[in-house]
Structure 1
Amino acid sequence: MVGLRGRCISVCWHLDSKPTEEKARMLPAGVFLVLSCWVVSLVLGVPPIETQPEQVHISYPGLHGSMMVSWTTFSEADSMVEYGLLGGKLFELVAKGSSAVFVDGGSEKRKLFIHRVMLTRLKPGSTYVYHCGSEAGWSNIFYFTALNESSDWSPRFALFGDMGNKNPQSLARLQKETQVGMYDVILHIGDFAYDMDEDNARIGDEFMRQIESIAAYVPYMTCPGNHENNYNFSNYKNRFSMPGDTEGLWYSWNVGPAHIISFSTEVYFYVDYGLDLIVKQYEWLRNDLEQANKPENRKSRPWVITMGHRPMYCSNNDSDDCTLFESLVQLVEAYNFVLISGVDLELWAHEHTYERLWPVYGFMVYNGSKEEPYVNPKAPVHIITGSAGCREKHDGFIPDPRDWSAFRNSDYGYTRMQVFNSTHLYIEQVSDDQNGKVIDSMWLVKDQHGAAAWA
């Protein structure tokens, strides 16, 4: 860059030293070069404003009338959100939060400042316009709709896992659908960026910039996957802000008629980070399901839905855990949490495909009936949705799946879900390869929830 600037100065001096007639002949080319140098200098020579907010995203912290706004800067700055109701006075409300320093585990030990501001006393179902930052730099203007926390509400979700910085094929369609208001919540079921820690966490930065176009508009709820494991999942723990106090490894929250549980399948695999995590998650999960199954709670939130990265069952032809007869993730099932607690639906990713299973428990199919398998089934329904797009491309399938595999497809795409009411839940799979075509759909219908439903 110094050489380029020097060349520009040299051209200017050279032009100035020429006679008027020669200067006139040289002027167009000279001016073009000088202007080109000036533009390049602006682009490359001016350092970024390190207090400028970026990577903006929101999440639901599990508290009534609230929303968490998170973002990143590369220098210390105040943490503020200015916001107001859509159609009202712009930025009439101000909320302040705090920032935490995140030092990446890579060789450069890059330092990021992660900002978090909790917005409270929001009006459920109302849309707010906001920006975040400080007087040292503000983000773009975004908007979100505060969650309707009634159990009679019918929330709409986009579900997917395994979306990378490279080849995030589903992202463009998700951006448009999110911004036109098709979704209330995004569930990202593990594996981000591929990988967030790469290039001293710069890949993580770029990925968070990419998903800002959806995550700044609707709550972006997450769970950890195997690609987050480096440095004890530090990029995942620091970049996302989930409910509870477990750094987003496991948590639960209520939305509409559903109680959603996010847990870490990775505690069973990365035991070097602590065997105690298995015990802690076990105790937490047992207690959470006990609370969810209290009659008064199950009445208001009848649907119990889990999300975890690695599936209990799959029919892919790789050597991953779910192809084994006894999966490590099935430890969850072995604890009998799934059956005793009457879990209705289990969402997974990890395999870069889509697969819908018949109701299954212990490798046995428990359909409601031959004609209507998903009407009052006697076991949980499993959905694997890991085909959003990443650098590892697709996974293949074994030629002959087991009896519990109902439908499978390897197109890039994602899943939509709507919890309509206490008895009806709808799921459909979107193929991005086929320009948004719905390639699979199902209604899950349950007149009764909980352990009694399996009787």
Structure 2
Amino acid sequence: MTLLIMITLTSISLLLAAADTIPTTLDGPFKPLTRRFEPSLRRGSDDLPMDHPRLRKRNVSSDFPEQIALALSTPTSMWVSWVTGDAIVGKDVKPLDPSSIASEVWYGKEKGNYMLKKKGNATVYSQLYPFDGLLNYTSGIIHHVLIDGLEPETRYYYRCGDSSAPAMSEEISFETLPLPSKDAYPHRIAFVGDLGLTSNTTTTIDHLMENDPSLVIIVGDLTYANQYRTIGGKGVPCFSCSFPDAPIRETYQPRWDAWGRFMEPLTSKVPTMVIEGNHEIEPQASGITFKSYSERFAVPASESGSNSNFYYSFDAGGVHFVMLGAYVDYNNTGLQYAWLKEDLSKVDRAVTPWLVATMHPPWYNSYSSHYQEFECMRQEMEELLYQYRVDIVFAGHVHAYERMNRIYNYTLDPCGPVYITIGDGGNIEKVDVDFADDPGKCPSPGDNIPEIGGSCPLNYTSGPAKGKFCWDRQPDWSAFRESSFGHGILEVMNSTHALWTWQRNQDVYKEDSYGDQIYIVRQPTICISREADEGREKSGGDKSRVSSITIPMFICIFFICLACTSRSIVFGHDI
């Protein structure tokens, strides 16, 4: 009994120590904090050259797979994608024949022993610019194979390619995620956005890989191929700038192939889920958009009841993810909204307690860049996310980091989601350093217009910013912001607690150094998702603070006190 008491006391002490060093959202709302850009650092860097060792093609034969990537399908199936053949850039380009090479994946639970084999489909796409002086592009052969029958939390070994060529990849391995359950979660979930291919991107991805994630979420803006002309020369320094004397916004599609090679050491071993950003639009003269994004990435659209690759959902253990499209119709009368409502209504919080939404542009953002750019989308969809008690919303677009206090409709709310902007992956457009509340940095309502969709700027009517478009200080809903490149790691501990850590790039060589760290705590007993009788969401939440750790702690205390009748033990710390 004495040993049991000592173990219990030690466990409680560790919990209390952790609570002392790392804050929780129950401690909020937090006083706004800003860490400004460190002037000794460069705001950005150029993209890596196409002949960089991490970007150039390494296979001697064009039949061998490259740009290998994994993506989740269902809890027991996985997409494997890769590219073969040589892409072509020129005035007159002839697409490769997808049927000229097979799409096979061999896989099994033992090295070199592939008991299971699957075949899939292949495709090619073209990016066409029928203008004088512009070059066209046709891709290599893009393969997608769905492998199924996977057991949870199991390591599999696989090879992909065409066995008859023969042209099979080297053996690679991955580990499957837990099945949906309130008691099982991915080891670590990495979040990153607005990557590009700069030296800063290299630092971000290397740092991310060192954290050994079991799942990666990229919140849009992948390659920045649209920063280049079709001949490969750099076009303009920012997406919002126009190409001088150009008939159309150009792209250099080989940057996509370079990005696939650059990411392969990660994506071939860890399932990586993506959502489209504005840099993926890539309009062609015929009006076609998002062609590269649509053809290169396999996502569980049909598996989640979506009719579009621009929005979908999936489960990762006890976490349900909804990936939202900001560059397709998001009106409450549209298909995406109807799909989202249906998807959220089917979520069983007893099985997947955590509900996480992801999109490219942030709804809450205190930087000058993209300030209130997607206010229309917020006004259309925020109520639905609040109604179903989404826990966290991740976004990118702004090239910096920001974490909000829990908020709904610009009002601090203990049952609102925690919004996090993580668009600081390292792209060529540099770090955003100006805040909308800085003197002279407040945009005009018409300055930030989205590439697709309307403009619905909001003039505040209450609070400290009454009658103004921008606050004159950091908004109360902005808990922490910093202009640095980096990435984030979410570690879900149980059905109510998740540890969020943002790691800035300049701390990559520092041990235990974090830019931002907090326990995100769900309060399901307070923030009830729906009334059982009418299926409606309760509006708002109780102001009381209850931690899920508190109840088991008091149980432990009860038994300890019962055993220790000769003395009393008093715990005066409330977590």
**Structure-1-length-normalised TM-score:** 0.78
Whether contact under 8 Å (2:190, 2:208) holds in the other structure is no
Whether contact under 8 Å (1:357, 1:381) holds in the other structure is yes
Deviation track 1:365-397 (CA, whole Å, cap 9, x = no partner) reads 12xxxxxxxxxx221110000111011110123
| 1:290-301 alignment, distance < 5 Å | 290-292=345-347, 297-301=348-352
2:173 & 2:211 partners in 1: Cα distance?
11
| Structure 2 counterpart of 1:313, from 364, 367, 374 | 364
Deviation track 1:149-177 (CA, whole Å, cap 9, x = no partner) reads 1412121211011000234x244553465
Provide the alpha-carbon RMSD of the alignment: 2.5
Whether contact under 8 Å (2:79, 2:145) holds in the other structure is yes
Aligned counterpart, 1:283:
338
Q: Larger % of strand: which?
A: 1
2:323 & 2:475 partners in 1: Cα distance?
27
Give the letter for the 2:352 counterpart.
Answer: R
Aligned counterpart, 1:388:
425
| 1:34-183 alignment, distance < 5 Å | 49-61=61-73, 63-74=74-85, 76-86=100-110, 88-106=111-129, 107-135=135-163, 136=165, 137-151=167-181, 152-155=183-186, 156-167=188-199, 169-172=200-203, 174-175=205-206, 178=209, 182-183=212-213
Give the letter for the 2:357 counterpart.
Answer: T
Change (3 A) 1:358 1:392: same
Cα deviation for residue 304 of structure 1 reads 1.3
Change (3 A) 1:153 1:47: closer
Secondary structure of the residue that 1:281 maps to in structure 2?
helix
Cα deviation for residue 56 of structure 1 reads 0.3
Change (3 A) 1:276 1:139: farther
Secondary structure of the residue that 1:338 maps to in structure 2?
helix
1:123 & 1:162 partners in 2: Cα distance?
33
| Structure 2 counterpart of 1:435, from 508, 512, 529 | 508
Secondary structure of the residue that 1:267 maps to in structure 2?
coil
Change (3 A) 1:453 1:187: farther
Cα deviation for residue 69 of structure 1 reads 0.3
Cα deviation for residue 430 of structure 1 reads 0.4
Whether contact under 8 Å (1:54, 1:72) holds in the other structure is yes
Whether contact under 8 Å (2:63, 2:84) holds in the other structure is yes
Whether contact under 8 Å (2:201, 2:427) holds in the other structure is no
Structure 1 segments unaligned to the other structure (5+ residues): 1-43, 269-274, 367-376
Higher relative contact order (CA 8 A, sep 6+): 2
Secondary structure of the residue that 1:283 maps to in structure 2?
helix
Change (3 A) 1:189 1:150: same
Matched, 1:258 2:319: yes
Cα deviation for residue 98 of structure 1 reads 1.7
2:491 & 2:311 partners in 1: Cα distance?
23
Change (3 A) 1:346 1:353: same
* Of 94-103 and 344-353, the range deviating more from structure 2: 94-103
2:254 & 2:393 partners in 1: Cα distance?
33
| Structure 1 counterpart of 2:521, from 441, 445, 448 | 445
Deviation track 1:217-241 (CA, whole Å, cap 9, x = no partner) reads 1110010000000131111111110
Aligned counterpart, 1:403:
476
Cα deviation for residue 360 of structure 1 reads 1.0
Change (3 A) 1:116 1:196: farther
Change (3 A) 1:175 1:213: farther
Change (3 A) 1:163 1:251: same
Give the letter for the 2:346 counterpart.
Answer: Q
Give the letter for the 1:424 counterpart.
Answer: H
Change (3 A) 1:230 1:94: same
* Of 241-250 and 423-432, the range deviating more from structure 2: 241-250
Secondary structure of the residue that 1:163 maps to in structure 2?
coil
Give the letter for the 1:266 counterpart.
Answer: Y
Number of equivalenced pairs: 383
2:206 & 2:408 partners in 1: Cα distance?
36
Give the letter for the 1:382 counterpart.
Answer: Y
Give the letter for the 1:174 counterpart.
Answer: I
2:320 & 2:70 partners in 1: Cα distance?
20
**Structure-2-length-normalised TM-score:** 0.63
